[in-house]
Amino acid sequence: MTIFALHSPEASLVLEQSGDALLWRHLGQRVDAAGLPPLASTRGAATFSLDEDVPFATAPGLGWFGPLAVSVAGRVLRWAVTDVAAKPGSLRVTLNDADTGLLLEQILRLLPGGGFEISATLGNDGPVPITIDHLASALLPLPAGLHRMLSWRGRHAAEFVECVEPLPAHQWRRETRRGLPGHGGPPGLYLLGQQAGWDQGLVLAAQLAWSGDAALAVERDDEGRHFLSVGAADGFTLEPGERHAAPPLLLAVSGQGRNGAMQQMHGAVRARLDWLRPRPVHLNSWEACYFRHDQARILELARAAVAIGAERFILDDGWFRGRDHDRAGLGDWTADPHKYPDGLKPLAEGVNALGLEFGLWVEPEMVNPDSDLYRAHPDWALHVPGAPQPTARNQLVLNLSLPAVEDYLFTALDRLLTNVPIAYLKWDHNRDLAPAGGLGQVQGLYRLLARLRAAHPNVEIESCAGGGGRIDAGIAAFTHRFWTSDNLDAVSRVTIQRGFQAFFPPELMGAHVGASPAHATGRRQSLGFRAGVALPGHFGVEMDPAKLPEPERAELASWIAFHKQWRHLLHGQQLVMGEGPDGLLWQASGEDREWLLLVTRTAPPQDRRPQPLALPFLAGAGPVHARLLARAGSTPHRGFGEPALLATLSGDGVTFPADWLAHAGLPLPPLLAESVAVIHLKA
């Protein structure tokens, strides 16, 4: 028997090589694996089961009745370990099935921030093609003591709706069939121990780094154990000599509650990024003018953006030929001669001359039937021969598995990026895929993005899909930002953004100040509250500032300046979240000695006076100086009787013992519904 272990500061993955199998011994909080007895010595005979015990392995074989690592119709695969290569921080396992010639390589490695990445590659060393029904990226045992699950569902303009369920008695499964992750967020989930909360208890978080259809399953066997199986949902065929890499699974295991798992997940995602610079404040043209624009109108809007302190201007949909509505033009990526008779270059140069970066909206994966591209190449659209081609938003989807389509799109976008000073692409995707296109569609997208990034390394790309329909760690490796939701209603955004940050760091979260009333919901909110909610993300504006009354325009400019002043604490740092008394929600971002705390109230208070807010992350930090920097939103009238301490807290600030703040709590100012308190904390 040989024991292999990977240890993070908080967790351990422990396996045992026994004969031809690599058996799971532990996945959970950190343990000392030295001197373990063999697994076989700990498992007695079970009633009404096989005479020879079949324990859970990384690639289970005959006699295992749970989920499989690889599924081939009509075949029983008998995996045998041929090699285990252990290095500091990683473990590579190679297995083969002698009957088929299939070769399976599984890699487990430690990531910056304390999380793990688990991946699988399947190869065909046999003489004939083999159709694979399913390849699991990871097949994992869940630690004992888990009690409930968090997952997220959603729709357009209502992303990241948190769902809480007990661990299943049989099986829980989430499978997408729309060709992209969808508005419920990435293919991922959180699993919580009995006593787990925001700051304590065992929590396991997982997300698949994949932008297509995926399947996640949590299953309980009759021995009482739970297992997690995660992988892309599409099957494929392996030709002789071919290799197929499954998308990796990002895994977090923490004994420090949801915040510990979230921080590991942020570290895992940040490890996939190849850029780091302050996030420029955006102004996007879409809700300011929709399709109704021309060069003069856009330059006027750009001047309004400069006046409030924006750093980047995005020209959204409506700039290309035939695009006066959403029924035509997709696929023909040349400037509309009526709106921009000299092309986009003079416009972009004019925006640059104002001191703004210029960004452009594109939707490369789509085509309108009313377009020159579709008329020339109707066969380039995804379709089932002989079946109807359903449109959505009046558009079809290009088949990115076709080399000709990939080459056409690269040429069209490369020409734009070469001839026009474009610093940023807002890359949209405004429909579900029917048919879905399978693995080839996602792989073609990744190839196209990789080619564009290589040719134009300084151009940033945003992933947008009808708002938050394609937010995942797979596409994060090629992009710089996610558009979180088309819903800019600030009350809706509070929960949407908290769901986003369960998996992704805030610097990737597009968060804009929209108009009031909100275009998605019709609700009215103060400008301060809209800005306070957008503050932690990649900040932007989604309206025409020139249409605001002068006092509101000045207030918006002040919030942009405020965001710039503090984004060094909001982005690239450690994030913690929690819930306070009487419906308060809070989050703090920073490092060991300095934090920016945002306390949000969406509904009216039920209590007579605000209760102190406990901040467990400050325990042991020493004296902490707290200063109330701003209250965004409605300000209480005099009848609320604000405490005398508030004047000091709002002025020079107050110093508290850190353990007092961690356990007894920070005194808070009164907050009305739809308001945010911004507090600076420094040890």
Task: Tell me which residues are annotated as active site.
Answer: 428, 486
**CA-wise closest residue to 654 among 632, 627, 621:** 627
Dihedral sign for Cα 131, 137, 141, 142, please.
negative
Cα 180 from Cα 234, distance rounded (Å): 12
Cα 135 from Cα 77, distance rounded (Å): 13
Cα 393 from Cα 395, distance rounded (Å): 5
Residue 76 has a CB neighbour count (10 Å cut-off) of: 11
User: What is the per-residue DSSP string for 432-476?
Assistant: --SS--HHHHHHHHHHHHHHHHHH-TT-EEEE-BTTBS---HHHH
Q: Cα 85 from chain centroid?
A: 32
Residue 229 has a CB neighbour count (10 Å cut-off) of: 21
Cα 485 from Cα 350, distance rounded (Å): 30
**CA-wise closest residue to 397 among 439, 364, 440:** 364
Cα 176 from Cα 171, distance rounded (Å): 16
Give the residues across from 95 on adjacent strands. 81, 104
**CA-wise closest residue to 201 among 209, 210, 191, 214:** 191
Cα 187 from Cα 152, distance rounded (Å): 9
Cα 253 from Cα 260, distance rounded (Å): 8
Cα 672 from Cα 606, distance rounded (Å): 10
Cα 39 from Cα 95, distance rounded (Å): 20
Cα 661 from Cα 667, distance rounded (Å): 9
Give the residues across from 15 on adjacent strands. 4, 24
Cα 396 from Cα 382, distance rounded (Å): 7
Q: Which residue type, as a one-letter code, is found at position 437?
A: G
The backbone torsions φ and ψ at residue 552, rounded to the nearest 5 degrees and listed phi first, read -70, -35
